[in-house]
Amino acid sequence: MINPIPYITNIGSNPVSGINNSTNSFGDILKAALNDVNNLQLKSQQDDQMLITGDINNIHNVMIDATKADIALQLTIQIKNKILDAYQEIMRMPV
């Protein structure tokens, strides 16, 4: 028996809420994922401000949070590009 590939349930440190296909729509899952990406971006900005003001001394955590936010944003952009490519391909199909 072939085991299915599990869903990506974690972008950053917060699990994506709503990976239950029977109760949530694609839009709900997308909103939750975008909120998680936004939270990572906000945390990275907050860490940057704290580093500038001297409230935080551990630059390693600042860099890790910035990298997490960057990777999550790049993943979001790539997913958006794939969705647009799929939409354009569907629109080119003859009726």
Any domain includes 3: no
The answer to the question of residue 14 being in a domain is no
Average pLDDT on 8-32 reads 65
Pairing of strands 10-11, 14-15: antiparallel
Residue 5 lies in a domain: no
Residues belonging to the chain: 95
91, part of any domain:
yes
Q: Look at residue 13 and tell me if it is in a domain.
A: no
- Residue 9: is its pLDDT beyond 80? no
Domain of residue 76 covers 58-95
For the residues 1-6, what does the mean pLDDT come to? 63
User: Radius of gyration (Cα) for the chain, nearest Å?
Assistant: 18
82 lies in some domain: yes
For 32-81, how does the pLDDT look when each residue is reduced to its tens digit (9 = 90+)?
A: 999 999 999 999 999 999 999 989 888 999 999 999 999 999 999 999 99
Asked if residue 88 is part of any domain, the answer here is yes
Residue 48 falls within a domain, yes or no?
no
Phi, psi of 11, rounded to the nearest 5 degrees: -115, 110
Question: Which residues, in sequence order, are CB contacts of 43 under 8 Å at separation 6+?
Answer: 65, 69
Give how many domains the chain has, as a whole number. 1
What φ, ψ does residue 14 adopt, rounded to 5°?
-100, 125
Q: Whole-structure pTM over 0.95, yes or no?
A: no
